[in-house]
Amino acid sequence: MDKNIKEKISYNILNIITESKYQKLEKLFKKYKSWEKALLNEKSDFKYDPEKEYEKLEKNNIKLILFNDPEYPKLLKEIPLPPFGLYVLGNSEILNKKAVTIVGTRKATSEGKLTAFNFSKKLSEAGLIIISGLALGIDSAAHLGCLEANGQTIAVLGSGFFSFYPKINEKLARKIINIGGTLISEYNIYSPSLAYRFLERNRITSGLSLGVLIIEAPKESGTLNTARYAIEQNRWVWVTPGPINHPNFYGSHQLIKQGASLVTLPEDILKDLNINYENKNEKTVLSEEEKIIYNAIKQFGKPIDIDKIIEITNLKTQTVNKIISMLIIKNIVKETNQGYSI
């Protein structure tokens, strides 16, 4: 049997025996410098058959990539405590392509989800892989925006593939794989979704990317944990701002105060990454209300304030605020000190 396969069989069973606890795996590898040797020397009575367990991976099209494999993501090798192995379901080739991570709160506002969707779509169209955690809220919106652009996205799980979480996103997970994306996890296939694992996996979510975009991070948020990892890993940290009194932006604004880059357009990120992108064939389709506001600004002939837009269009204040935000994100309307203009 090929030595590399033996290493993978041994690592997989040790990952099951140790319940995917990093410190235990680290101790074994430091002692034996080989997963095969570790298994031979530490072998005790357990109910799992190493070869049969590895066959389960193969039958379910799950690839195991170990740290020393050529396919192992190069950026991930740079981080503190890189995973010893990655379980991959889907297209493993994209793990070494340029990527941006987009994360935020599960309890996101509709505006926040739309922002994540639009940023993801634009960045994906520019050729970037989009990474997120497949959670509800901002994560799901980021994956969906990428899929809308027929791009490739990576979902980093906080559980094993046989304990998929959240169940409600299984359909989204299948779409990600079908369109050429991938799901990855450092946890053995049986690992349940425990709270601390979602914090652990965040180092992978940031580590795989060139930078992390934070959209809506409350005061107590796993998103801030991802930002801290990104800073530690010397990655870009971008933040979209929001209303100063909204709880979903408390952590976001703290990050900006600490030096994170404030961004309002996907182009801000592309500029930081020195990526030139212009989709000349892109046709922007506006909703009826967007057209009303767009025409009002255009016909006014000079920068116009929000009150004047409400007066001209006779639309509700909440509606105008929401649509203006979306038109700015789409790079159709510009915000200046004097007001809004085309």
16 in any annotated domain:
yes
Residue bearing the bigger pLDDT, 90 or 334: 90
**pLDDT given at position 280:** 41
Do 43 and 171 meet the contact criterion of CB atoms below 8 Å apart?
no
Q: Is the pLDDT of residue 283 over 70?
A: no
**For residue 210, which of 131, 309, 266, 289 has the smallest C-alpha distance?**
131
Q: What's the whole-number mean pLDDT along residues 240-256?
A: 95
**pLDDT given at position 278:** 62
77 in any annotated domain:
no
pLDDT, tens only, 149-158:
999 999 999 9
What letter does residue 92 receive in the DSSP assignment? G
Radius of gyration of the chain (CA): 23
283 in any annotated domain:
no
Q: What's the whole-number mean pLDDT along residues 183-207?
A: 95
Q: Are residues 106 and 169 in the same domain?
A: yes
Q: Are residues 298 and 262 in the same domain?
A: no
Task: Quote the distance between the C-alpha of residue 110 and its chain's center.
Answer: 18
Q: Residue 297 and residue 320: Cα distance in Å, rounded? A: 12
Q: Are residues 122 and 224 in the same domain?
A: yes
**For residue 201, which of 103, 107, 116 has the smallest C-alpha distance?**
103
Indicate which CATH number applies to the domain containing 296: 1.10.10.10
70 in any annotated domain:
no
Q: Are residues 134 and 195 in the same domain?
A: yes
**For residue 143, which of 151, 153, 135, 157 has the smallest C-alpha distance?**
153
- Count of domains observed in the chain: 3
311 in any annotated domain:
yes
Quote the domain boundaries for residue 242.
93-272
**pLDDT given at position 209:** 98
pLDDT, tens only, 57-98:
999 999 999 999 999 999 999 999 999 999 999 999 999 999
191 in any annotated domain:
yes
109 in any annotated domain:
yes
Q: Tokens for 192?
A: 């349940």
As a whole number of Å, the end-to-end CA separation of the chain is 66
State the pLDDT confidence band at 300, using cuts at 50, 70 and 90: confident
Q: Are residues 169 and 113 in the same domain?
A: yes
85 in any annotated domain:
no
Cβ partners under 8 Å of residue 217, min gap 6:
104, 105, 223, 224, 227, 239, 248, 249, 250, 251, 252, 255
pLDDT, tens only, 28-38:
999 999 999 99
End of a domain among 241, 272, 303? Answer: 272
E-strand spans in 105-196?
129-132, 153-156, 182-185
Give pTM, 2 decimals: 0.80
Q: Are residues 28 and 124 in the same domain?
A: no
Q: Tokens for 17?
A: 């025996």
For residue 200, which amino acid is it? Answer: E
**pLDDT given at position 94:** 96
Q: Residue 213 and residue 232: Cα distance in Å, rounded? A: 15
* Percent over 90 (pLDDT), the chain: 76
